[in-house]
Amino acid sequence: MHYKLALIGFGNVARSLARLLIRKQDLLKSQHDVTFSFTGIATGSHGFAVNPDGLDIQKALDLVEGGQSISSLSSTDVKDSLAVINNSQANVMFENSPVNTQTGQPALDHIRQAFDLNMHAITANKGPVVHGYRELTALARSKGKRFGFESTVLGGAPVFSVFREAFPLAELISINGIFNATTNVILTLMENGEAYEDAVKYAQSIGLAETDPTNDVDGWDAAIKVAALVTVLMDTPMTPQQVNPTGIRGITPQMIAKARAEGKRYKLVCSAEKVGDKVTASVSPQLVDSTSPLYGMMNSSTGITFRTDVILDYSITLSEKPGMKGGPVETAYGLFADFVNAVK
Ligand SMILES: NC(=O)c1ccc[n+]([C@@H]2O[C@H](COP(=O)([O-])OP(=O)(O)OC[C@H]3O[C@@H](n4cnc5c(N)ncnc54)[C@H](OP(=O)(O)O)[C@@H]3O)[C@@H](O)[C@H]2O)c1
């Protein structure tokens, strides 16, 4: 079958996805008889383009990466993301606009619109998961479509699907892990004697931390991931505000030196525990010693441990990336995996 794809948000992740789809197109055809074309693209400040007969994706990549608008590629005059979704005639909409931790918008509306038009919706954006999981899952089910969000936590490494498919009827008692690579890099560098400000600058220089690192260093990126995991896997709606994170700004070189002398180190620990119907969750810097699986996770490593009522501790680790910036490519793979699982 031929699938028409709409890309809402065409930044690092969506462009990596476009390249990955192109790289895997022969395999998609030979293994699953799936072909595809791109029929809609929306950006924030690089224009909008729609063509139900197929857009020239290479031109779109070149234009955006050259800082130009993609509007010249459009067969119809479209002025916003919803118009792109409406006019794309797509079968699958990929939502990769910037995360909004407070409300999940505008991604929520993009995904609602996609389901209304009988599309699958696949996203790396955590906002709609924490602010609309139950509604969007019900909408998807009513349309016989898939709401895919595998790449929202731990880049594109399978986390939700591992738990949902490989642990039938297991009860999730707790999760524990390191979910934010930027803060782990900063804490690692501080252990090696770097000042906090220099460590932040380094994380920015390798493209890991954003120009405004607040979301990472104050724990909000980690908190929204905890909220997404609790919402989906513990069936308990939770927002990042309820997680109420504490970030790493308060960790001083003196605290780190003292911890080292005691054979311990600071990690930004993410955890959630379910007791009865009640879930408590937190994100905060904690001292861990060498008996903890988190102790050896250095630099940009991230990981999660599930504790269930049947298998006690099951861990997934995403190893340190040499050169550090694996992010968008790995995240794109999560989107790609959701796509293949939706259409195969
Ligand atoms: N980067 C990662 O490794 C990673 C990992 C996990 C999850 N994610 C999530 O994936 C999503 C995309 O991340 P990214 O790294 O690709 O971000 P990005 O590079 O900043 O790209 C965001 C894209 O969204 C566009 N955009 C902005 N406002 C929009 C709107 N209102 N409607 C439609 N498009 C809009 C931007 O256009 P302009 O550039 O023209 O403004 C840009 O094309 C985010 O939700 C992020 O949290 C990213």
CB 81 near ligand 1, within 6 Å: yes
**Is the predicted pLDDT of residue 6 greater than 90, yes or no?**
yes
**Is the predicted pLDDT of residue 93 greater than 90, yes or no?**
yes
Q: What is the pLDDT of residue 326?
A: 56
% of the chain with per-residue pLDDT over 70: 98
CB 46 near ligand 1, within 6 Å: yes
CB 330 within 8 A of CB 156: yes
Indicate the top mutation candidate among 96, 108, 150 to test ligand 1's pocket, ranked by most ligand atoms within 8 A of CB. Answer: 96
In sequence order, the 6+-apart residues with CB closer than 8 A to the CB of 192 are none
Residue 176 in 3-state DSSP? strand
Encoding tokens for residue 256? 């780190």
Q: What is the pLDDT of residue 324?
A: 52
Edge-to-edge strand order for the sheet containing 264-275?
Answer: 278-289, 264-275, 172-178, 302-308, 313-318
- Domains, the chain, in order of start with CATH, read 2-148 (3.40.50.720), 168-322 (3.30.360.10)
CB 97 near ligand 1, within 6 Å: yes
**Is the predicted pLDDT of residue 323 greater than 80, yes or no?**
no
Q: Which of 318, 272, 12 is nearest to 157 (CA)?
A: 318
* Measured distance CA(184)–CA(302) in Å, rounded: 8
Residue entry with tokens 């195969």: 344
Which of the pair, 72 or 318, is modelled with greater confidence? Answer: 72
CB 247 within 8 A of CB 268: yes
pLDDT-based confidence at residue 338 (cuts at 50, 70, 90): very high
Instruction: Report the pLDDT averaged over residues 142-146.
Output: 97
**Is the predicted pLDDT of residue 327 greater than 80, yes or no?**
no
What value does the mean pLDDT of the chain take? 95
Tell me which of 17-26, 160-169, 281-290 is least confident.
Answer: 160-169
Residue 235 in 3-state DSSP? coil
pLDDT-based confidence at residue 322 (cuts at 50, 70, 90): low
Indicate the top mutation candidate among 12, 99, 109 to test ligand 1's pocket, ranked by most ligand atoms within 8 A of CB. Answer: 12
Residues serving a catalytic function are: 225
For residue 37, how far is its CA from the centre of ligand 1 (angstroms)? 21
CB 11 near ligand 1, within 6 Å: yes
Instruction: Report the pLDDT averaged over residues 173-177.
Output: 97
Break the chain down into helix, strand, coil percent, rounded to 5: 40, 20, 35
pLDDT-based confidence at residue 329 (cuts at 50, 70, 90): confident
Tell me which of 131-145, 241-255, 303-317, 321-335 is least confident.
Answer: 321-335
| Helix (DSSP H) and strand (DSSP E) numbers for the chain | 14, 11
pLDDT-based confidence at residue 206 (cuts at 50, 70, 90): confident
Q: What is the pLDDT of residue 325?
A: 52
Q: Which of 111, 151, 150 is nearest to 132 (CA)?
A: 111
Q: How many other β-carbons are positioned within 10 Å of the β-carbon of residue 290?
A: 9
Instruction: Report the pLDDT averaged over residues 282-301.
Output: 95
* Measured distance CA(330)–CA(12) in Å, rounded: 11
Q: What is the pLDDT of residue 211?
A: 82
Q: 152 to each of 29, 160, 192, 275, 333, how far by Cα in Å?
A: 27, 9, 30, 25, 11
- Amino acid in the structure at residue 304: I
Q: What angle do CA 71, 73, 78 make, to 5 degrees?
A: 45
In this structure, the residue with its CA closest to atom 11 of ligand 1 is 96
Residue 92 in 3-state DSSP? strand
Encoding tokens for residue 49? 């383009």
CB 327 near ligand 1, within 6 Å: yes
DSSP letters for 115-171: HHTT-EEEE--HHHHHHHHHHHHHHHHHHT--EE-GGGSSTTS-SHHHHHHHSTTPP
Q: How many other β-carbons are positioned within 10 Å of the β-carbon of residue 25?
A: 13
Instruction: Report the pLDDT averaged over residues 35-40.
Output: 98
Instruction: Report the pLDDT averaged over residues 213-217.
Output: 94
Residue 283 in 3-state DSSP? strand
Encoding tokens for residue 165? 């498919």
Instruction: Report the pLDDT averaged over residues 135-152.
Output: 97
